[in-house]
Amino acid sequence: MSTTLTFAKALNTALADEMEADSTVVVFGEDVGPLGGVFRITDGLTARFGEERCFDTPLAESGIMGMAIGMAMNGLRPVVEMQFDAFAYPAFEQVVSHVAKMPNRTKGKVKLPMVIRIPYAGGIGGVEHHCDSSESYYAHTPGLTVVAPATVQDAYTMLREAIRHPDPVVFLEPKKLYWSKEDLELESLRESVGSFGRAVVAREGSDATLIAYGPSVSTALNAAAAAAEEGRSLEVIDVRSIVPFDDETVAASVRKTGRAVVIAEAPGFASVASEIVARVQERCFHSLAAPVLRVTGFDIPYPAPKLEQFYLPSVDRILDAVDDLQWEDA
């Protein structure tokens, strides 16, 4: 029997299921206890599992991260929430210097099985420090697994898989998707093995490939639907896992279509989108009919709410990029 869940409820259910299955899973962060978090992702967990397993912390992100490192070193599986994307920056030194390096520093003797949940990206009318797309910082740091679900089902399955992962996972949650809904067969999902580390074809097409992750996947799908009305068939790849990156699925799509556009909300300079473009052109050069293009945020601080519509990748900007892919009939 299917159940209609929001993206936020799917995350909440994944946390509850893992806490039920594994007594070493602990959840903490700012306001995640009795309040249930700003976005209610931890709603009800303190009441169900007690204050020792889901609790509030002081407003001190570096302290949250340091405590999680110590817990993970001593046999627990901490899941910490950074309340908003840019709020995680005070903890960045802990992430880069210790979370990412501890297993390598100890020749694999000390593992850090922990999840850093980060509500990220724009589309909610927020201001700076609340809408950053910070994935490049983490993706550029060896030792971290970095994922960004784009569907309700992936929110559930990928968070459970992240908690079970033996190494640290940065789990990026697109805030604008928290209220999106899907019907899920939860009982079957609870028994299924996930596809962590793999991209998926979100929409099949033959003329060009749109490559996106997290909040940009739904925009890419809307662009593909609009292009279809104009007679152009666009395939959409949901990257899902930024690190490790699934070159196989992405390259297979681009070799089939011969054209590609990478879409991401983060500023384009020195970005994950830049890395994807480089990887595609290295692997698919002889199959390409045109250079791989990007549609990204601009190289500026995140704008005021009234201006974010101009900053974020839109259907029109994506279709303009597709039009620039050197079509023979253009």
**pLDDT (tens digit per residue) in 225-264:** 999 999 999 999 999 999 999 999 999 999 999 999 999 9
Mean pLDDT for 8-27 is 97
- Kindly give the residue spans of alpha helices, DSSP state H, lying in 22-133: 45-49, 61-73, 92-94, 102-105
- Residue 41's pLDDT is 97
- Residue 190's pLDDT is 83
- Residue 188's pLDDT is 86
Tokens of 257: 């279509």
Res 330 pLDDT > 60: no
Enzyme catalytic residues = 130
Confidence of residue 193 (pLDDT cuts 50, 70, 90): low
- Residue 48's pLDDT is 98
Cis peptide before 244 (omega within 30 of 0): yes
**Element holding 156 (H helix, E strand):** helix 152-164
Tell me the chain's radius of gyration from C-alpha atoms.
20
Dihedral sign, CA of 123, 126, 130, 132? positive
